[in-house]
Amino acid sequence: MHDDRGLVEARLKRVLDERVRPAVYPESVPLDVAVWVAPRIGASPDRTESKAWGTVPVEEGIAADVTPVAVGDRWGAPWGTSWFRVTGRVPEEWAGRSVEAILDLGFDENMPGFQCEGLVYRPDGTPVKGLNPRNQWVRIGAPVDGGEEVRLHIEAASNPVLLDYHPFLPTRLGDIETSHSDPLYTLARMDLAVFDETVWRLVIDLEVLGELMHELPVESGRRWDILRAVDRALDALDLQDVNGTAGAARSELTGVLSSPAEPSAHRISAIGHAHIDSAWLWPLRETVRKVARTTSNMTALLDDEPEFVFAMSQAQQWAWIKEHRPEVWAKVVKAVADGRFVPAGGMWVEADTNMPGSEAMARQFVHGKRFFIDEFGVDNDEAWLPDTFGFAAGLPQIIKAAGSKWLLTQKISWSQTNKFPHHTFQWEGIDGTRIFTHFPPVDTYNCAMKGSEIAHAAKNFKDKGVARHSLAPTGWGDGGGGTTREMIAKAARLRDLEGSARVVWETPAEFFTKAQAEYADPPVWVGELYLELHRATLTSQAKTKQGNRRSEHLLREAELWSATAAVRVDGFAYPYADLDRIWKTVLLHQFHDILPGSSIAWVHREAEKTYAMVAAELTALIDSAQRALAGEGAEPLVFNATPHTRGGVAAGGAAAPAGDEEAGLFARPDGGFVLSNGRLRVEIDGRGLVVSAYDRVAGRESIAPDRPANLLQIHPDFPNMWDAWDVDAFYRNTVTDLVEADEVAAEEGASVRVVRSFGASRVTQRLTLAPGAPRLDIVTEVDWHETEKFLKLAFPLDVHAERYASETQFGHFYRATHTNTSWESAKFEACNHRFVHLEEPGWGVALVTDSTYGHDVTRTVRDDAGTTTTLRVSLLRAPRFPDPETDQGPHRFRHSLVPGATIGDAVREGYGVNLPERTLPGAGPVAPLVVVDNDAVVVTAVKLADDTSGDVVVRFHEACGGRARATLTPGFTAHSVTVTDLLERPLSEAESTDGAVEVALRPFELRTLRFRRS
């Protein structure tokens, strides 16, 4: 037989495109359209009312006076809202037929979620469904009686297209304050149309078979069976009467559509999904509306499709619907009660997991899980993070401590260098906790049920032979509308189809239960899940990152001092509601496009204002509690919020400060200055560079010979794509050392000021050695006006180390300093929290930071055979997409170099630089609420229990990576002590003596104790 595959396949494509798909709607009549344009209002961070979000209440939009418009008219200024009213009458002759409204706002079908969107309402304000590029229909009747009046209202958002066909071009449209006001879109179609379901089903049949056919081997008999059936179906189709002959064409396909899948076929659990970034190329206010549109779509689809299951993560998004869209919320609540609209993930938002601190990462689960438990009685077993940019090694323990046991993500498939070896595995964290983890081999969290996607999932699945289940999150995200009826129809045909994987709709829990049952002993991956991409998210938008770090530590202080005052001071009220609200605000801003700095200018401009409000509120709470504790008096009291004794003041207590020895400053013979105290001797040359940092206690030099430290270096920074997200390895090929100084001068105390100018920018540094301090403090103030540049601060250290430690949640993680393998080479930019530590046996160096996260570590061998290990912290970038003014303006960073530091010293100094002392006059010392007798056991939270019982909750972990015993002694009467999970639910009773608890911890083990007061 002659090979006519190409002929038949080309025939199928043209007939589908030009005859069959257009015949889905064989008859139509135009609707009348009128519009009211709402005031174009920016969003306000207080979010106290609907209008503060730049929107108007639904009833106001529906009742507004409208002006007639027509198809072909332009509409929609950037970030505007237009309320369209569409009216018409169903023709009498359509009686008994299915009729839909086709409402095309000017969509580009290739950009679901990244352009204009709409939500359709009935005249009484009831939401009907969302309008999106792949979802433009609204059912009027199936069937209709004929003659019905049609009246619909569309709340249409004219969000600008920012990620266009030529992506990553700088644009001012990313902020309402800088965008123009010209209309962006053209009304394309506003019709009533007859919906021919038989033709629509023929489209699905042909699409499924055509897509499957392309995935089968040419030599496969099944491929040829499908080809011949398709050919016969096209022969049966009269192209001049598609609607009259579609049934006959479908009949020719019955045989190939009913042939069952092989018993060994891969199993795919399809889960309705619409990944909605809580902010990205739109502001927070627009996400509220994106969620409302999508959930309206999905609740409507659930009514139509009995097998369909939809899952939505991010408790914040659920809370937004409840607060801002009660008419949508009512439908969601009913769908959840029916068990088919599933709260997923158990986190407040799908957060970045690299940068949030220990407590913040824990509270993501506390607030997320508690919301779903309180609202629906649902306690999530899975963490759901399809799009997060890599996963810190401390996360498994946090997931388990929150009462969950599974993790799903997709993003690791984006890694550029190494392909991850598993799709289903056990992920082991720094403390030894293992979490059953799945990476969907479909390699997308927006699966559309295409044959190519289903075939890729089956072929790509790494665990063949021992497992056969994978998951496919199915639906358009980011406002694209979620799952479509077309996807559901395709899945129905793929349930049991020869040549394809089997597809069934299931909940996350159903999938994970099956997957874990069939794969009792999966492989283990130890340590972080590093994404070999988007490394620059550790640096972009420095002020957002500083706001996060500052907020986390202010929350620690506010809880600590408020709890202490509530226990110690009669009548002091613990601010439960304020802390709950502020925590949720901070957690929201840890979303994986806000904290990483990859959102539009509008988002980061608002974030800066929000963090300022958070700081003001928390500072007021701290001040109120400390004043209550200090009492009336003139004795200077230093409040120490760190988990270690500092300056003679106990952790969590307040007392008069201890005296310190002097620190000296001397002129250096060759120019520059020498700073000296009993611990360190630091030489700063005439260029303002550190040429020596001598540990006087150990008799050891820290700085590598002939390689100055405190060296600012600048690189060109123009990645191949994903500007705010990426820094590509070739950036290192070109570097400029900023060694010329405008000024190097002594200041009062043991401090040196260094001023440098470069490009259009200016840097002022202050290098200070405090009396008795084991560290050199470096404050760097940058007035930054560069474009597409990367600024680093380098410390070449005389340390021979094959690995180094960087702090992560509830511990630290080791990475190699060498590049023996492609896995190590790919980690050329990595994350730390408060410290990075390098060590030879018996001696180490730490660099601690108050706000930076990105860093790199490299090593070279010198001519003297010594090893120079260079640690560089990342300060600033200047990408132009999506915010063309990223990081422009003034910044302030604080770092401290700690020669001779152990890991314990690094932990202590890291807390010290992030939790400065506060001094108030008072009556006398304030004893700590809880005392721990081992510095290796670090307390991360002291607070009152969330249930308002007045019980004291203490969370702590082993911080040095070894075994630790400690006694926790409460400074109050404790009637009993309970070990709890992160949500403060009891796990077991703790043995105590007069309230004191002895604990034995494994390396990095996390534990929470609840002390019952009454």
What number of CA atoms fall less than 13 Å from residue 722's CA on the CB side? 15
Q: List, as one string, the DSSP characters of 473-490.
A: EESB-TTS-BS-HHHHHH
| Cβ neighbours, 10 Å, residue 131 | 26
Alpha-carbon distance 356 to 358, whole Å? 7
Nearest to 371, CA basis, from 983, 934, 835, 944: 983
- Order of all β-strands in the sheet with 986-989: 937-944, 952-958, 1006-1012, 976-980, 986-989
Query: Within its chain, how far is the Cα of 606 from the centroid?
Result: 17
365 touches 398 (CB < 8 A)? yes
Q: Is 593 among the catalytic positions?
A: no
Q: Which helix (H) or strand (E) holds 424?
A: strand 424-428
Alpha-carbon distance 569 to 810, whole Å? 31
Alpha carbon distances (Å) from 192 to 85, 119, 143, 246: 14, 17, 14, 22
Alpha-carbon distance 406 to 425, whole Å? 10
Looking at 419-541, list the stretches that DSSP marks H as alpha helix, in order from N- to C-terminal side.
Answer: 451-460, 485-493, 508-518
In the chain the first and final C-alpha atoms are separated, in Å, by 88
Nearest to 37, CA basis, from 186, 154, 188, 180: 154
Alpha-carbon distance 797 to 785, whole Å? 30
**Two structure tokens written together for 704:** 């590598």
**Two structure tokens written together for 129:** 């469904």
Question: Exactly one of 225, 352, 387, 685 is catalytic; which is it?
Answer: 387
Alpha-carbon distance 848 to 833, whole Å? 9
Alpha carbon distances (Å) from 791 to 29, 280, 762, 877, 888: 61, 25, 12, 6, 13
- Tokens 């006076």, residue located: 65
Helix and strand numbers, DSSP H then E, in the chain: 19, 54
Name the amino acid, one letter, at 39: P
* DSSP symbol at 437: E
Name the amino acid, one letter, at 119: L
801 touches 839 (CB < 8 A)? yes
Q: What is the CA radius of gyration of the chain?
A: 31
Question: Bridge partners of 895?
Answer: 778, 849
807 touches 788 (CB < 8 A)? no
Nearest to 475, CA basis, from 338, 313, 603, 286: 313
The C-alpha angle 90, 306, 100, rounded to 5 degrees, equals 15
Give yes or no for a cis peptide into 143 (omega within 30° of 0): yes
Name the amino acid, one letter, at 539: T
| Cβ neighbours, 10 Å, residue 410 | 23
HEC readout, 253-318: CHHHHHCCCCCCCCEEEEEECCCCCCCCCCCHHHHHHHHHHHHHHHHHHHHHCCCCCEEECCHHHH
- Cβ density class 33-51: b for 16+ within 10 Å, e for less: bbbbbbeebbbebebeebe
599 touches 882 (CB < 8 A)? yes
Residue 566's φ and ψ, nearest 5 degrees, are -65, -35
- Active site members: 387
